[in-house]
């Protein structure tokens, strides 16, 4: 077999990470493009991370530069499979003791839209854009994310194709709703396999009965949110919405809580909050029924909109008649609140992959190129965690941590962070805090990885149009200038 040609290395610690993907990249051009693309995604930029920005070139004026065209070819035309890249990324995460999923984590279902103009881009349509709070022309992607109190990373992503792209619209056999795509992604995660305590999702999925039925078929329990005023059939004098059911619960104040139970929530920064939770009854849902309705709030008297959750779950109540026969372990109020509280990490991840890693900055139109861009952004995201954890765990420190040192790690899990689990690690994911840019770290410390890439990067710049020769010149050094 012919030996592979050597590939120009990526800067700093990125080369060791990129080399792990060489087996699924068949040519030198692919291996080189993979390193160039990740370097561009991780580098700090003052503008959107389009292909010219990733190559360190000027927009429009240098759009035809060979460095830009190489990335364009790599993303759109080169014959490599984004599913194999993603499978290798996940295989690396599952193989590491510090990042392998465990039964205390959750599988988060969510979707996110990216504004796009025109009608030629695959999956584009006039639909709800949650980040902007209005309906816009955009591409929406359904995602799964694994998370616990210390770590979170994306698993799979599937762009949603609106009905108008199909000949028969919503009646077309190929059309899939977002809840159907989400259920498919849950099954895909189970093939890895990914251990988790439950599937969690917001009301966009929790209100969909078909989605909850599909989750039950997967064999995973769920904790999903409901809209406060989601109506259901019931007798005239009974509650008809989740908020009606919550208002029917007895509450006489903190000294006379009635139906409510105090739940202490722990957060990563060390502070705690007192919440109140209770089982409510609504139609066929109840504390001893197959499906529970759990209300969690900071104030049972007023049920504030922003700090009140209406959750439905098939996890049995401790001590209930069905707890003995249920395939799932009983969950008290503290556990239900902890599980759904982990869902917020998906919002954090969206901020990081969109604002720093260029998830929404793609300027390609084909379905394959969009999927490839998303897979590469996920690789850059996972690199930040992998490198940050490697540096932290390798740093010498005291043999045992004090209660104060471990407080930020406990988060909603109470006792888990400080003892009894192989994933226990120091409070900071990466060292040396930096102000900007901030990458994949809820503690805002992985920005130092970008600084490391900048320090190791070569200094060759893409030539300006005035400096180019008429004859074809040799390609510029790669990766491009990082500034």
Closest to 189 in 3D by CA, of 248, 247, 147:
147
The answer to whether residues 26 and 81 touch, using CB atoms and an 8 Å cutoff, is no
The confidence score (pLDDT) of residue 453 equals 53
The confidence score (pLDDT) of residue 234 equals 80
**Distance of alpha carbon 203 from alpha carbon 446, whole angstroms:** 31
The confidence score (pLDDT) of residue 406 equals 28
> Between these two residues, 81 and 388, which has the higher pLDDT value?
81
Using 50, 70 and 90 to split pLDDT, how confident is the model at 232?
A: confident
pLDDT of 108 over the 70 cut = yes
Is the pTM higher than 0.85? The answer reads no
Using 50, 70 and 90 to split pLDDT, how confident is the model at 355?
A: confident
The answer to whether residues 198 and 339 touch, using CB atoms and an 8 Å cutoff, is yes
What is the average pLDDT across 229-253? 90
pLDDT tens digits along 170-181:
999 999 999 999
pLDDT tens digits along 292-340:
999 999 999 999 999 999 999 999 999 998 888 899 999 999 999 999 9
Q: Assign residue 7 a region: left if phi > 0, alpha if psi is -120 to 50, beta otherwise?
A: beta
pLDDT of 48 over the 60 cut = yes
The confidence score (pLDDT) of residue 131 equals 76
pLDDT of 106 over the 60 cut = yes
pLDDT of 129 over the 80 cut = yes
pLDDT tens digits along 149-169:
989 999 999 999 999 999 999
pLDDT of 479 over the 50 cut = no
The confidence score (pLDDT) of residue 441 equals 39
Instruction: Round the average pLDDT of the chain to a whole number and report it.
Output: 83
pLDDT of 240 over the 80 cut = yes
The answer to whether residues 342 and 108 touch, using CB atoms and an 8 Å cutoff, is yes
Closest to 356 in 3D by CA, of 429, 428, 435:
435
Using 50, 70 and 90 to split pLDDT, how confident is the model at 132?
A: confident
> Between these two residues, 361 and 400, which has the higher pLDDT value?
361
């Amino acid at each position: 077999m012919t030996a592979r040609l050597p590939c120009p290395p990526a800067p700093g610690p990125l080369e060791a990470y990129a080399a792990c993907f060489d087996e699924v990249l068949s040519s030198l051009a692919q291996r080189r493009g993979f390193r160039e693309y990740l370097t561009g995604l991780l580098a700090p930029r003052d503008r959107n991370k389009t292909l010219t920005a990733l190559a360190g070139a000027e927009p429009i004026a240098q759009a035809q530069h060979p460095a830009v065209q190489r990335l364009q070819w790599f993303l759109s035309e080169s014959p490599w499979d984004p599913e194999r890249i993603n499978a290798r990324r996940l295989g690396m995460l599952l193989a590491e003791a510090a990042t392998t999923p465990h039964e205390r984590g959750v599988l988060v279902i969510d979707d996110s839209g990216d504004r796009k103009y025109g009608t030629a881009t695959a999956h584009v349509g006039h639909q709800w854009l949650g980040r902007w709070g209005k309906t816009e022309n955009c591409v929406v992607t359904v995602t799964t994310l694994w998370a616990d109190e210390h770590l979170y990373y994306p698993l799979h992503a599937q762009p949603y194709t609106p009905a108008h792209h199909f000949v028969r619209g919503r009646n077309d056999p190929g059309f899939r709703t977002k809840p159907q795509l989400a259920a498919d992604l849950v099954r895909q995660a189970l093939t890895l396999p990914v251990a988790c305590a439950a599937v969690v999702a917001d009301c966009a999925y929790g209100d969909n009965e078909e989605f909850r039925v599909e989750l039950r078929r997967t064999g995973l329990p769920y904790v999903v949110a409901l809209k406060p005023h989601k109506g259901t059939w019931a007798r005239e004098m009974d509650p008809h919405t989740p908020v009606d059911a919550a208002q029917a619960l007895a509450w006489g104040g903190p000294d006379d809580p009635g139906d409510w139970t105090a739940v202490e929530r722990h957060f990563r920064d060390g502070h705690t909050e007192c919440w109140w939770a209770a089982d409510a009854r609504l139609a066929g849902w109840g504390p001893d029924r197959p499906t529970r309705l759990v209300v969690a709030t900071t104030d049972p008297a007023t049920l504030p909109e922003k700090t009140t959750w209406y959750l439905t779950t098939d996890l049995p109540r401790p001590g209930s008649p069905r707890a003995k026969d249920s395939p799932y372990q009983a969950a008290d109020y503290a556990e239900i609140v902890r599980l759904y509280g982990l869902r917020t990490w998906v919002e954090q991840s969206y901020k990081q992959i969109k604002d720093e890693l260029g998830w929404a900055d793609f300027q390609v139109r084909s379905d394959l190129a969009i999927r490839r861009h998303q897979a590469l952004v996920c690789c850059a995201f996972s690199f930040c965690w992998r490198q940050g954890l490697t540096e932290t765990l390798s740093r010498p420190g005291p043999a045992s941590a004090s209660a104060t040192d471990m407080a930020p790690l406990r988060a909603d899990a109470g006792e888990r962070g400080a003892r009894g689990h192989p994933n226990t690690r120091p409070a900071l994911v990466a060292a040396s805090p930096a102000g900007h840019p901030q990458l994949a770290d809820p503690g805002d410390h992985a920005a130092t990885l970008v600084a490391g890439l900048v320090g190791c990067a070569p200094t060759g710049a893409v030539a300006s149009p005035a400096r180019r020769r008429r004859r074809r010149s040799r390609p510029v050094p790669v990766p491009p200038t990082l500034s």
